[in-house]
Structure 1
């Protein structure tokens, strides 16, 4: 874990319809050299929801912009940063292809929640952190 002192994990379970639950779960690694637009940070999020690449890209960008792209640790940046979101479709839901549909909105909120939780954990574990 290099300079990380704790594991960073978050998840959300949401209903996308009658008796259809999907999971969004993520992990992050990073405790130093993090500035807006991320740096030296690795974040991996997986969901069992079926989501089109366009919708997944939209919610990933929106979630990153309101979480990881807002934090700074050490004020240093680097090129070693990644946020990867994978959607397997294993939940069996009808694929979400429309950004404005209710299922998409629910999914987007769940993804944003997981990303905010992970970003907060990164800041709490930051090298030399003195304030939040």
Structure 2
């Protein structure tokens, strides 16, 4: 597995296509969330992903600068391909994202909108709930914050 972190402009068209395909397969088809997947936030984001030897994207997320989704730096579109679930790849992905944010922005708070069923996973990484559960695309979510204090 090879890991990459790239700004939008450095993603080649094949990698971008594979990232979008994975996001659509999981978020729109598997989770039946009908929303505009292409939301114009990718252009200002850092894209962190793991690719296998066959150039398949196995895990992906985007790091959004402050002011794009929230006042804080945020992490979004966290996804692990169905074939790679249960392998700790999601934990590795998030730990790498936190390190990348620390490297780029310093030790700053990080906000996420997490699916509620993953609350204990994110809590184990240092995120704390900061909102009540709400529905987003008919899936229970809650805002969580990673604080360096």
TM-score, reference length from structure 2: 0.30
The structure whose residues are more often helix, as a share, is 2
Q: Which has the higher strand share?
A: 2
Structure having the higher Rg: 1
